[in-house]
Amino acid sequence: MAAAAAVSPLAPKKFAEPPPIEGVRLAAGAAGIRYQGRTDVLLAVFDEGATVAGVFTTSKCPSAPVDWCRDKLRHGRARALVVNSGNANAFTGKAGREATEMTARLAAKAVGAKEDEIFLASTGVIGEPLDASKFDDVLERLAAQARPGGWLDAARAIMTTDTFPKVATATATIDGVEVTVNGMAKGAGMIAPNMATMLAYVFTDAAISAEALQKLLSKGVKSTFNAVTVDSDTSTSDTLMLFATGAAEKRGQKKAKKANGKSLKDFAEKLDAVLLDLAQQVARDGEGARKFIEVRVTGAESDKAAKKIAFSIANSPLVKTAAAGEDANWGRVVMAVGKAGEKAERDLLSIWFGDIRVAHEGRRDPDYDEAAASAAMKQDKIVIRADLGLAKGEATVWTCDLTKEYVAINGDYRS
């Protein structure tokens, strides 16, 4: 296996440990699924009464754990979450289904719950059978060790080609009661929208029904995890789940049954903030990334059209390699706008790199300054803006550059 990559230069400068959340306990351990000398299994244990919501990959070849979670989500209850790294348990046929069943059975026994209250995820190599017997004893031990806190250790356990653990936290108020929202994610490659775009888990002590949680999550994902891309590839295993322990009800919070109630306004905003923070961390850890790129499209025929154009720019290998080379090649943005398939008029299009307008009304800006444009491309964060001058549609997406390291990482991923 290739040596671990250096931490992305776009990583947060500090990794702060999120606070404990009442009603959830975490433990990370090593089952030797694929990696040696590191943790590769996460177990989260929830108190009785926890509710759950989730969104999953749109891939037509989903993993066995994705199928399992979709089926169990209808119950709306959660007692445990098991995530392993190193093996995706995807495209593994009957053996994959049997592995999920065995894992759920072992986890249910370890935490004293029903199997339909267990949620699973696997990430890693596709097409290799997962030996679920390796979880035997490991899950029993982790259940006994599970404690409040330990978010960074948990996030490390689910990493594959990630170079840093991804966590985020926020505090919200519901009915005058303070609640916490913590999240963790993994993802660095095979990242594209259509939600989810990796594995991500969000936890709160708020008391919210499963139905309301689902609506909040489905809405929040649109402008967060469905607005990032690294390489335009949607994984077989993409999973985003939200767990609410309900512990805040003991502190006076009235259980929220509807997502559109006024009491959840602050919570919804803080949830979206955590989702966006995690999603942007994924883009910042894009395999081999050296530039974090924000693409803003304005003046499009509709928001939907703007988003499609923004992704055309963000997913363009030519735009991404220009960013990697710090080349202010705005012609590649023109190309990406033109190929998107949405309405655009050449003589109305304007383009900016940072604050520098490089193209205007169908031609190079009259005041174009190559030195200033090049300086904008040398920043760690590059903002590319395209205004179509047609209407009021707008969208923002986030991505990273495409470097030689991306090819190296993916060229020997299984070796």
- The greatest distance separating any two alpha carbons of the chain, rounded to the nearest whole angstrom, comes to 71
**For residue 295, what are the β-bridge partners?**
384, 397
Q: From the candidates 197, 239, 298, 403, which is the catalytic residue?
A: 197
Distance of CA 275 to the CA centre of its chain: 8
Is 197 annotated in the active site?
A: yes
Query: Which residues does the annotation place in the binding site for substrate?
Result: 160, 186, 197, 287, 410, 415
Catalytic positions, please?
197
